[in-house]
C-alpha cells in the first residue's frame, strides 16, 4: 500500500480487472500499459507527480465498470472463473473440487462468492448472468 505522500504510477503489461483494481485500491495514482508512447508515459509521470492521476482509457473503462457493478461485486478471480466454467458445464461441487484438486469446502466457497459477485440467487442464474455480461461463452461451455 502507498504511504502518505507517496505517489505511485503502475507501468505494466497486465490489464486484468484484478490487477487494475488491486493497484488502485492499494493507492496507485496511475495505471499505464507498456504499449504507451514515451509522450504518454511522460504526461502520466507529470500528472501523478503534481498530485493528479493518470489512467489509460482501457483501464479507466474497467474502473467505470467496477464502480457500476452491483454492491459487493468485484471482478471474478481466475479461480472463480474456472469454477464458473465448470458450473456452466453442469458439474456438482464434488466434481468441481476433484477437477481443480481443491477441497469441496473451497469449491463451495468459490461458488458462493461467484453468486454474490454476480448478484445471482442460484447457479443457473449465475451462468445466465455471466453469459449475458460476457464473462462466459456458453456455446463452448466456458
**What percent of the chain lies above the pLDDT cut of 70?**
85
Whether 12 and 34 have beta carbons less than 8 Å apart is answered as: yes
By residue count, the chain amounts to 142
Listed in sequence order, the residues at least 6 apart from 17 whose beta carbon sits closer than 8 Å to its beta carbon are 62, 65, 66, 75
77-115 pLDDT per residue, tens: 889 999 999 998 889 899 999 999 999 999 999 999 999
What cell numbers appear for 51 in the block?
498530485
pTM value is: 0.49
Domains of the chain: 9-68 (3.40.50.2300), 78-132 (1.10.10.10)
Q: Give the mean pLDDT of 35-40.
A: 90
CA distance 132 to 87: 16
Beta bridge partners of 12: 33
Amino acid at each position: 500500500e502507498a504511504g502518505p505522500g507517496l505517489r505511485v504510477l503502475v507501468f505494466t503489461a497486465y490489464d486484468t480487472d484484478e490487477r487494475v483494481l488491486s493497484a488502485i485500491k492499494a493507492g496507485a495514482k496511475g495505471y499505464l500499459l507498456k504499449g504507451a508512447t514515451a509522450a504518454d508515459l511522460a504526461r502520466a509521470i507529470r500528472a501523478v507527480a503534481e498530485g493528479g492521476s493518470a489512467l489509460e482509457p482501457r483501464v479507466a473503462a474497467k474502473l467505470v465498470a467496477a464502480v457500476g457493478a452491483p454492491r459487493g461485486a468485484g471482478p471474478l478471480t481466475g479461480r472463480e472463473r474456472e469454477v464458473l466454467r465448470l458450473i456452466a458445464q453442469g458439474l456438482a461441487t464434488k466434481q468441481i473440487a476433484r477437477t481443480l484438486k481443491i477441497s469441496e469446502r473451497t469449491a463451495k466457497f468459490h461458488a458462493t462468492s461467484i453468486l454474490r459477485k454476480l448478484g445471482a440467487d442460484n447457479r443457473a442464474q449465475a451462468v445466465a448472468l455471466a453469459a449475458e455480461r460476457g464473462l462466459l461463452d456458453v456455446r463452448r461451455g466456458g
